[in-house]
Amino acid sequence: MLSAFVIAFAEAMSDFGTAYTLGSASHFPIATLTLFNAISNFPANFPVAAVIAGVLILSTVPPVFLQARMMRGRSYAVLSGRTRAVRRYQFTTPVRIAVTAALALFVLIVVGMPVLGALSSSFTNTASFVTPTGIHWTLQSYKDVFSSLPSYTSLGAPLVTSNRLGLWVATLTVVVGLILARRIAKSSGSWSQRITDVFLMGSVAIPGIVLGIGYIFFYDQRFITHHIVDLYETTPLIVLGLSASALPGQSRLLLGPVSQIQSSLNDAARVHGAGKIRAWRTTTMPLLSRAIVWAWVLTFTKTISELAVAQILFVPGQQPASVTIEQYLGTVFASVGSAATVITLAEMLGVIGVVLLVYRLVTPRGWRRIGEAGANS
């Protein structure tokens, strides 16, 4: 819960979409919007942008150190060879109904209404949903999504590009995130762990647009491109940028499951003659398999919907789906943008379903039972 609070705190500060739309429209000043204005103006005011970015990073220090102080000296390594299934506490029927209704209402307002709005607008071809002559339902927007309108790009190639980027970024993020989570869990309570936490959470607090511009400034330097590596306007650069954007949150997501595993499991496997890889595969992998799958799925879907980094670092002629959708929205083709959003969302849900189905089919039954609740209490 503390890790979730820290991640939500940092991501709320770094959010740019809400600040750019709702914040500016309601005249509610948000730091990320001020930072964006400093960069987007001509000439760009980079000193002000750097100061705001620095303040956002430093703002993550208090919650990180508060979490470290509350968890100091405590160990959460509870999974071992003798661990029994947990017992699930059951709410009474009235409490369960009340909690379910409150959660359903919250999801409906926060997620359901925006999705319903995008879905309904995708079936119209007018700027307003309700017109003086009524509602005009049509599938034309879904036809236009995959046909190149004047000065616009169809969704087909960008969606393939986004899926390819999602595959690379999700795989790289999960591998590096596991290494970082293990590093933080091993040095729990030490200064190196706190510094690593601040660095990761500071990265979360940096808006994606600043991260993307930072990549351009560094990798577009003449000395870098001529004497070290030339990554400007290449696929590896956007993969690095998207991975850097996703890595802090996913490493914190994996930190909880990694911290629960006792080292005695791996030690016992090594004593019985297993090598490092086999010991990890037979003791740690089954316990982390579900967390790894969900971290991969979340990173994949986040990569497809990422706009700030993708808009700045995409390779010319290979723009991702999020950039294509953003070009449609806010124009006379907004209904086409809504249709593209619905198709992309459906594709993301389809990938989640396929990955979870494959996990259920190919993994042993014991892997899937790990973490399940035991008898009711």
* Segment 176-193, tens digit of pLDDT: 988 888 887 776 556 666
Is the pLDDT higher at 73 or at 363? Answer: 363
Question: Which has the minimum average pLDDT: 59-68, 86-95, 313-322?
Answer: 59-68
Q: What does the alpha-carbon distance between residue 116 and residue 74 come to, in Å, rounded to a whole number?
A: 45
Q: What does the alpha-carbon distance between residue 209 and residue 14 come to, in Å, rounded to a whole number?
A: 10
41 within some domain: yes
Max avg pLDDT among 54-58, 228-232, 303-307, 354-358: 354-358
Whether the pLDDT of residue 2 is over 60: the answer is yes
With contact defined as beta carbons under 8 Å apart, do 207 and 312 qualify? no
92 within some domain: no
pLDDT in the model for residue 374: 46
Range(s) of the domain holding residue 199: 2-73+122-369
Whether the pLDDT of residue 245 is over 70: the answer is yes
- Mean pLDDT value of segment 97-125: 86
Percent of the chain with pLDDT over 70: 75
106 within some domain: no
Residues in the chain: 377
| End-to-end Cα spacing for the chain | 23
182 within some domain: yes
Q: What does the alpha-carbon distance between residue 362 and residue 366 come to, in Å, rounded to a whole number?
A: 12
Q: How far is CA 13 from the centre of its chain?
A: 15
Is the pLDDT higher at 39 or at 254? Answer: 254
DSSP 199-226: HHHHHHHS-HHHHHHHHHHHHTSHHHHH
Using DSSP, state whether 73 is helix, strand or coil. coil
16 within some domain: yes
Whether the pLDDT of residue 203 is over 80: the answer is no
134 within some domain: yes
With contact defined as beta carbons under 8 Å apart, do 7 and 204 qualify? yes
104 within some domain: no
pLDDT in the model for residue 90: 77
296 within some domain: yes
Is the pLDDT higher at 358 or at 306? Answer: 358
| 124, β-bridge pairs | 137
Which residue in this structure is represented by tokens 């808006």? 207
Give me 343's structure tokens.
């198709």
Q: State the pLDDT confidence band at 375, using cuts at 50, 70 and 90.
A: very low
Whether the pLDDT of residue 345 is over 80: the answer is yes
With contact defined as beta carbons under 8 Å apart, do 152 and 327 qualify? yes
Q: What does the alpha-carbon distance between residue 198 and residue 249 come to, in Å, rounded to a whole number?
A: 12
Q: State the pLDDT confidence band at 373, using cuts at 50, 70 and 90.
A: very low
CA angle 151-215-244, nearest 5°?
100
pLDDT in the model for residue 230: 79
Is the pLDDT higher at 9 or at 323? Answer: 323
Strand (E) or helix (H) holding 187: none
pLDDT in the model for residue 168: 94
Give me 119's structure tokens.
């879905």
With contact defined as beta carbons under 8 Å apart, do 346 and 321 qualify? no
| CATH number of the structural domain spanning residue 205 | 1.10.3720.10
Residue among 20, 304, 360, 16 at smallest CA distance from 159: 304
pLDDT in the model for residue 235: 87
Q: State the pLDDT confidence band at 352, using cuts at 50, 70 and 90.
A: very high
Q: State the pLDDT confidence band at 26, using cuts at 50, 70 and 90.
A: low
Q: What does the alpha-carbon distance between residue 122 and residue 341 come to, in Å, rounded to a whole number?
A: 9
Q: What does the alpha-carbon distance between residue 125 and residue 127 come to, in Å, rounded to a whole number?
A: 7
In the predicted model, what is the mean pLDDT of the chain?
Answer: 77
With contact defined as beta carbons under 8 Å apart, do 294 and 227 qualify? no
Is the pLDDT higher at 137 or at 209? Answer: 137
pLDDT in the model for residue 269: 80
Total count of domains within the chain: 1
| 114, 142, 193 from 127: Cα distances, Å | 17, 16, 52
Whether the pLDDT of residue 377 is over 50: the answer is no
Residue among 44, 41, 35, 42 at smallest CA distance from 207: 35
| 88, 90, 91, 111, 373 from 97: Cα distances, Å | 17, 12, 9, 21, 21
Whether the pLDDT of residue 282 is over 60: the answer is yes
